DNA sequence: AGGATTAGCGCC
DNA sequence: AAAGGGCGCTAATCCT
């Protein structure tokens, strides 16, 4: 294994996060001035263009953030700095670190793994400077040593931890990089039109905010409070959209004071506009945008968004006259096949908690929310969704909201957000009590997790929990909360912060992790079946195929996603989807 | 001044 | 006894 680490020019105004890694690496200002290559007898640090690249042909390479280093290398080839060569593999030690429960950043990962604290001062000093500046200031030796040390740490991290990283997870990490480079086609005309609409909406919102023209921070809560005082209106403690107090405040005063609505409009429209702009900056010459997903972005193993544009939280419909999702389109002559795992988390929860009643209903093909209503809400009629839509929505809210221990207060907002239900305080309390009484398998599962956490805490061990896939989840340093010894805290990353942890929360983490493993297993089978995944969002895949094979690909994708992994043969899964000419939902 | 944190908001 | 969770990004603010 050979570690490869590039050093490239950056400054305050020229960063990876502004452009995204691809555009940054290919930008003419990005001077690729140094590379460090270590391992298998190689120990090179110096001018990247002077390195004998073909010696790496057929070799196994590793970089810390391989998506970045491999992109920089590609940019160097495009700019005729380097000759093209093909390594056998190019792995990512940052992905490995994340899998192992270490922090992602190299300095933090090595500190957590080896207790070695390394300084990033040299790297910071290089902000806005090039190789010639380092030479002129007599810092060249230090810079070379810094780059050499980083590749050494990357190699050490790999050598000591890679044996813990299973082959299927390595394939998922590599698959994620393939998605990044493959990218998604963007309707750039639609993007521009949307931005015009949003800019107009933003200007309109700013017109309605009295202090906006004066140059004061438009969204500042402090400025808002001041203004409220001058016009004699009370000010809310928070402007959060789901804060009860704030909702009432808005209801009461927004007629009389239009600036109240304008603040919220301004914030939301501006965030959406920034998202459009971020996508526009990342579109490549061929009209595609790299799909920046981060392997193991969450400690549950889920992927997260990355690199400036998060494809996992695109708005689902039109906002302020602009609709972003449909601007992600198949390349001409192709279609999207979009399929998701139906109610994957409640299915996994029933399976983990051995809720036999629910499991047999699901195996018989009954819709999940209806099965819940029959088992615990007294429904004895026919198809619930058609015959009693209100009860169906309540069943959905109960299933999605109550499986992880939330109380009445939280359920109130969960029910509204997930099922559009407006329930009273007392009603929520009753629902929570009744749900817990009639779902003893799940509440027993919370208690079992609570008990195991307490056991690990007593033994002063990390809390380890074996998942059905064979991987082990880890919560670090469990123990009583110093501020409230009746509560427990634990961490999710080695050396990371600890936070409140109890059975319901552990249950949620485990369910999310198992659902992720189910989905990840299907991703590899999709790729093996030759179905090219363009990107994915937790339980949803977007595949691009020739228009003519859309229907066939849809059936095959649904079949693959509905088939459980080998380690979960009795988990009842379902998947649904459609063939589309743009991203939707 | 620049990095870190918080508040708010989008999604699953 | 009670307690939903997981993310990333922008703007504002805090902190060094």
pLDDT of residue A172: 93
pLDDT of residue A520: 94
Joined tokens for residue A27: 């930008």
At A131-175, the pLDDT tens digits run 888 888 888 888 888 889 889 999 999 999 999 999 999 999 999
Which chain B nucleotides are covered by protein, judged by CB under 7 A?
A: 2-3, 7-12
Core vs surface per residue A506-534: b (16+ CB within 10 A) or e: bbbbbbbbbbbbbbbbbbbebbeeebbbb
The Å distance, CA of A574 to C1' of C4, is: 24
- Mean pLDDT for A465-472 is 92
Please tell me the distance from the alpha carbon of residue A25 to that of residue A18, in angstroms, as a whole number.
12
Which residues of chain A between 24 and 83 are close to nucleic strand C, CB under 7 A?
A: none
Apex A145 CA angle, A140 and A146, nearest 5: 95
H-state helical runs in A208-324? 221-231, 244-253, 259-282
Nucleotide nearest to A221 (CA to C1'): C12
Tell whether the model's pLDDT for residue A259 goes beyond 90. Answer: no
A262 CA to B8 C1' distance (Å) = 15
Which one-letter DSSP state was computed for residue A565? P
User: Per mean pLDDT, which range of A213-217, A380-384, A570-574 is the poorest?
Assistant: A213-217
Over residues A553-579, the mean pLDDT reads 94
At A444, give phi and psi (nearest 5°): -65, -35
Instruction: Read off the pLDDT of residues A485-526 as tens digits, 9 standing for 90 and up.
Output: 888 888 888 888 888 888 888 998 999 899 999 999 999 999
Percent of chain A with pLDDT over 70: 99
User: Is the pLDDT at A239 greater than 80, yes or no?
Assistant: no
Strand order in the sheet with A540-546: A533-536, A540-546, A334-341, A575-580
Please report the pLDDT score of residue A281 as a whole number: 84
Q: Say whether the CB atom of A119 is under 7 angstroms from strand B.
A: no
Give me the percent of chain A exceeding a pLDDT of 90. 42
Residue range A10-47, pLDDT digits in tens: 887 788 877 788 888 888 888 898 999 999 999 999 99
What DSSP letter does each residue of A498-518 carry, written as one string? Answer: EEE--HHHHHHHHHHHHHHHH
Residues A373-397: what's their mean pLDDT? Answer: 89
Whether the CB of A585 is less than 7 Å away from nucleic strand B comes out as: yes
Say which residues have a Cβ less than 8 Å from residue A392's Cβ, sequence separation at least 6: A369, A370, A373, A384, A385
Can you tell me the distance from the alpha carbon of A348 to that of A339, in angstroms, rounded to the nearest whole number?
18
Residue nearest to nucleotide B7 (CA to C1'): A240
Average pLDDT estimate for A535-552:
93
The mean pLDDT value of chain A amounts to: 88
Q: Is a pLDDT exceeding 90 seen at residue A361?
A: yes
∠ CA A525-A527-A528, nearest 5°, is 60
DSSP A41: T
A39-84 residue pLDDT tens: 999 999 999 999 999 999 999 999 999 989 999 999 999 999 999 9
The first and second tokens of residue A219, run together, are: 């969204």
What lies within 8 Å, CB to CB, of A342 at 6+ separation is A368, A573, A574, A575, A576
pLDDT band at A243 (very low <50, low <70, confident <90, very high): low
pLDDT of A89 reads: 95
- Report whether pLDDT(A242) > 70: no
**Is A238 within 8 Å of A153 (Cβ atoms)?**
no
Q: How far apart (Å, rounded) are the C-alpha atoms in residues A506 and A453?
A: 9
Q: Count other Cβ atoms within 10 Å, centred on residue A389.
A: 10
Sign of dihedral through CA atoms A415, A417, A423, A427? positive
What is the pLDDT at residue A407? 84
CA–CA gap between residue A481 and residue A474 (Å, rounded): 18
Q: How far is the CA of A178 from the C1' of B7 (A)?
A: 35
The CA-atom distances, in angstroms, between A411 and each of A394, A425, A428 are: 11, 9, 7
Pick from A543, A577, A585: nearest CA to A559: A577
* Of A372, A402, A401, nearest in space to A385 by CA: A372
- The answer to whether the Cα torsion of A97, A102, A108, A110 is positive or negative is negative
Question: What pLDDT is recorded for position A221?
Answer: 77
Task: Read off φ and ψ for residue A466, nearest 5 degrees.
Answer: -80, 125
Interval A79-101: pLDDT, tens: 999 999 999 999 999 999 999 98
Tell me the CA distances in angstroms from A407 to A410, A427, A466, one per residue in order. Answer: 6, 12, 28
Nearest nucleotide (C1') to alpha carbon of A418: B12
Q: How far is the CA of A312 from the C1' of C8 (A)?
A: 9
Q: Is the confidence at residue A258, as pLDDT, over 90?
A: no
Q: What is the pLDDT, as a whole number, of residue A213?
A: 76
pLDDT digits (tens, 9 = 90+) for A398-442: 888 888 888 888 888 778 777 777 888 888 888 888 899 888 889
Average pLDDT on A371-376 reads 91
- Measuring from the CA of residue A220 to each C1' atom, give the nucleotide at the shortest distance: C12
* Band of residue A225 on the pLDDT scale cut at 50, 70, 90: confident
Q: Which of residues 272-291 of A touch strand C (CB under 7 A)?
A: 274, 278
Q: Which residues pair with A479 in a beta bridge?
A: A489
Q: Is the CB of A241 under 7 A from strand B?
A: yes
CA distance A264 to A158: 47
Q: Nearest CA to the C1' of B11 belongs to which residue?
A: A313
Q: Which residues contact A415 (CB under 8 A, 6 or more apart)?
A: A394, A397, A401, A421, A423, A428
Nucleotide nearest to A304 (CA to C1'): C7
Cβ of A11 less than 7 A from strand B: no
What's residue A241's pLDDT?
66
CA of A271 to C1' of C11 (A): 10
Contacts of A42 (CB under 8 A, 6+ apart): A2, A55
Name beta bridge partners: A536.
A541
CA–C1' nearest nucleotide, residue A239: B8
Could you check: is the Cβ of residue A537 within 7 Å of any atom of nucleic acid strand B? yes
Euclidean distance between CA atoms A288 and A429, whole angstroms: 50
Question: CA–C1' span, A180 to C7, in Å?
Answer: 18
CB-contacted nucleotides of strand C (7 Å): 1-13
Flag whether pLDDT at A235 surpasses 80.
no
């Amino acid at each position: 294994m050979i570690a490869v680490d590039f050093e490239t020019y950056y400054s305050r105004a020229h960063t990876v996060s502004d452009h995204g890694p691809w555009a940054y690496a290919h930008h003419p200002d990005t001077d690729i001035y140094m590379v460090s290559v270590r391992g298998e007898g190689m120990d090179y640090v110096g001018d990247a263009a002077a390195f004998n690249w073909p010696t790496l042909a057929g070799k196994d390479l590793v970089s810390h953030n391989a998506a970045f280093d491999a992109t920089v290398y590609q940019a160097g080839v495009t700019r005729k700095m380097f000759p093209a060569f093909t390594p056998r593999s190019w792995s990512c030690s940052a992905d490995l670190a994340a899998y192992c429960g270490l922090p992602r950043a190299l300095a933090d990962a090595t500190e957590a793994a080896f207790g070695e604290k390394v300084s990033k001062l040299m790297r910071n000093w290089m902000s806005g400077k090039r190789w010639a500046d380092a030479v002129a200031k007599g810092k060249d030796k230090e810079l070379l040593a810094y780059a050499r040390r980083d590749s050494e740490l990357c190699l050490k991290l790999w050598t000591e931890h890679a044996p813990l990283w299973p082959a299927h997870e390595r394939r998922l990490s590599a698959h994620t990089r393939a998605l990044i480079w493959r990218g998604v086609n963007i309707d750039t005309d639609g993007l521009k039109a949307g931005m015009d609409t949003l800019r107009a909406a933003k200007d309109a919102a700013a017109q309605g905010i009295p202090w906006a023209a004066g140059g004061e921070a438009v969204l500042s809560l402090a400025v808002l409070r001041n203004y409220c005082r001058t016009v004699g209106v009370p000010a809310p403690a928070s402007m959060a959209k789901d804060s009860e107090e704030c909702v009432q405040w808005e209801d009461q005063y927004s007629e009389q004071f239009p600036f109240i609505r304008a603040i919220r409009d301004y914030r939301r429209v501006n965030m959406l506009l920034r998202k459009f702009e971020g996508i526009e900056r990342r579109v490549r010459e061929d009209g595609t945008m790299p799909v920046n997903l981060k392997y193991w972005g969450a400690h549950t193993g889920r992927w997260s968004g990355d690199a400036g544009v998060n494809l996992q939280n695109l708005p689902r419909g039109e906002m302020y006259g602009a609709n972003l999702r449909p601007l992600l389109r198949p390349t001409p002559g192709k279609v999207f096949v979009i399929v998701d795992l139906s109610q994957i988390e409640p299915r996994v929860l029933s399976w983990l908690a051995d809720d036999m009643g629910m499991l047999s209903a699901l195996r018989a093909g009954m819709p999940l929310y209806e099965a819940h209503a029959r088992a615990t809400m007294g429904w004895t009629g026919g198809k619930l969704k058609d015959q009693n839509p209100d009860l169906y929505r309540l069943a959905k809210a109960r299933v999605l909201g109550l499986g992880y221990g939330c109380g009445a207060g939280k359920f109130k907002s969960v029910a509204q957000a997930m099922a559009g239900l407006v329930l009273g305080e007392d009603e929520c309390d009753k629902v929570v009590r009744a749900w817990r009484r009639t779902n003893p398998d799940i509440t027993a599962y919370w208690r079992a997790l609570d008990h195991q956490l307490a056991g690990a805490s007593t033994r002063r061990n990390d809390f380890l929990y074996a998942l059905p896939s064979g991987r082990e989840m880890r919560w670090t340093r469990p123990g009583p909360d110093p501020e409230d010894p009746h509560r427990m805290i634990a961490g999710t990353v080695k050396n990371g912060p600890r936070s409140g942890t109890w059975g319901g929360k552990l249950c949620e983490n485990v369910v999310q992790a198992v659902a992720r493993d189910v989905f990840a297993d299907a991703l590899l089978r999709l790729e093996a079946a030759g179905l090219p995944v363009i990107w994915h969002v937790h339980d949803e895949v977007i595949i691009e195929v020739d228009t003519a094979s859309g229907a066939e690909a849809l059936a095959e994708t649904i079949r693959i996603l509905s088939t459980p992994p080998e380690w979960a043969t009795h988990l009842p899964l379902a998947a649904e989807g459609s063939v589309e000419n743009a991203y939707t939902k």
